[in-house]
Amino acid sequence: MTVRPLPAVLAALLALAGCQLVPGAASPGSAPGSTKPQALRVTSVADGDTFTGRDATGKKVKVRMLSIDAPELAHDGNSAACGSKQAAARLRTLLSGQTVDLVADPEADPVDKYGRRLAYVELEGRDIALQLVSEGLVEAWYPKGEPRPVRFDTYSGAEATAKHARTGSWRTCPSLGR
């Protein structure tokens, strides 16, 4: 096992400063088949990794943020997971009413089995998922059997740093997301 603490710390510090460290990231793109980011005005936040917005044509688009997993809110008779309310509240604070850029991953499917767009989300050049991971509110994750997203290693490093420092929900939660 190779430990790379310095890049993880650097990534976390850059994220907090509003910068990005995304080695190997391909050209931004979000709409299926597109090579350009797609602008989306956020209208509602469902939880710590899913939200809905409207594109330039007014079409409603539900988005699942790539390469992270947030603790689940209470639903379908299941109780809320540790840290779920904090993750959802933070995403709501960051994105509600904002226009974000959806950026596709060249390795990931553009839509999941629930019809949600899968994308990285950037606001004024900041990677929102990386910010949530660095703040200790969500975990780096991707579905088993799927290709590794290009930003996963950066997110994973930021998660290790946040977990080690007991940042955010890592103070009280044994795990976040899955």
Per-residue pLDDT tens over the stretch 49-74: 999 999 999 999 999 999 999 999 98
Q: pTM score, two decimals?
A: 0.80
* Distance between first and last Cα of the chain: 22
Distances (CA, A) of 85 to 6, 12, 143: 31, 23, 23
Confidence (pLDDT) at 35: 56
The share of the chain scoring above pLDDT 70, in percent, equals 80
Q: Which strand (E) or helix (H) includes residue 63?
A: strand 60-65
Confidence (pLDDT) at 93: 98
Torsion angle, CA of 42/69/122/137, rounded to 10 degrees? 90
CB 57 within 8 A of CB 136: no
CA atoms within 13 A on the CB side of 77: 0
Domains and CATH numbers, the chain: 5-171 (2.40.50.90)
Query: pLDDT tens across 6-49, in order?
Result: 444 444 444 444 444 433 333 333 344 455 899 999 999 999 99
Confidence of residue 126 (pLDDT cuts 50, 70, 90): very high
Confidence (pLDDT) at 178: 74
Query: pLDDT tens across 140-172, in order?
Result: 999 998 899 999 999 999 999 999 999 999 999
DSSP 8-state assignment for residue 99: E
How many other β-carbons are positioned within 10 Å of the β-carbon of residue 95? 22
Q: Which strand (E) or helix (H) includes residue 158?
A: helix 152-165
Q: Specify the amino acid at residue 111.
A: V
Q: What DSSP string describes 21-52? A: --TT------STT-SS-EEEEEEEE-SSSEEE
